[in-house]
Amino acid sequence: MTHSKKIEIHFSRLKLIKLLCFAFLFLACGIWMLRFQPDTQSVFLDNPYFKNGIAILALLMGSFGSYYALKKLFTPKPALVIDALGIIDHSSAVAIGRIHWSDITEIREHKTPAGALSKHRFIVVLLQDPAAYLSRQAHGLKRKTMEANLRQCGSPVTLSVTGLDTTFELLESELQQGLATYRDTEAETIEAIGTPLPKDLQEKVAAANKAHEYAMEIQKMLDAEFVIAELQVAATADHTLSITGVVTNQGTKDAIGEYLMLHTDTPKVYNGLTLEEEEA
């Protein structure tokens, strides 16, 4: 049994437009407070440090919110992809990208208070090796946020439907189904070959399979973006890439290397592409 469906979940344009409106409101309030310095007849609220601090905070929140909303409104990339390999997460500022089913131990709901009478629900993706995913996040602030998630929820990876064009129940159902399908397939494979492999060998096979899957994913990405003859992509367990093939000029070769460093989580690219004139 295989998980044949590839499910793409995009950002909700309506939710993003609402976020953009609130962000502009924060910007307007911050500018108004700095410009007109309103008098509230309160010693505490009229303190210039407090008042200007609130105004600057409103400007920062409005700026970040408007940047995020505008960026996502004009980004065709789906926020979440669920496929046979696992999950591709681009749904938040601390999204980690590809998460393989083989790395996931459990998917569960988590609730945090969102108000006096309500709670915010999100999905926690529990991992076999959280440290490996933390190490993929080089950005300091994002890494700190993921570490906080790990302490609070037991995993650095959490998913929220806020801003997504789906419901919590539907997203959780699709994720649970994908994980269950992967495990059924794994069980069928073990049954077909008889006795399960030793654990250390299982880990090596799993690492090799994930590296191969990652290489195939990158190859499809490059095929969609560039014209490369005889393209071959190989990857190691830490996502180091090696690419070979033939391109028309040095500029294209350099652009491909830069593209991979910018759009993937690879720590290093061995660019073995050759030029057409060299082949001739």
Among 248, 234, 254, CA closest to 279? 248
pLDDT digits (tens, 9 = 90+) for 11-53: 888 888 888 899 999 999 999 988 888 877 777 777 888 888 8
CA distance 157 to 101: 13
SS3 state of residue 230: strand
pLDDT at 1: 38
pLDDT at 37: 81
Q: Which residues of the chain have pLDDT under 50?
A: 1-3
pLDDT at 87: 92
- Residues facing residue 27 across a β-bridge: none
pLDDT at 2: 42
Residue 19 near residue 65, CB atoms below 8 Å: yes
Instruction: Give the domain CATH number at 274.
Output: 3.30.300
Domain span including residue 117: 80-170
> Where do we find the tokens 């997203």?
171
For residues 158 and 238, membership in a common domain is answered with no
Q: How many domains does the chain have?
A: 3
pTM: 0.61
pLDDT at 48: 80
pLDDT at 99: 92
pLDDT at 183: 82
Give the domain-ending residue among 170, 185, 210: 170
What amino acid occupies position 22?
F
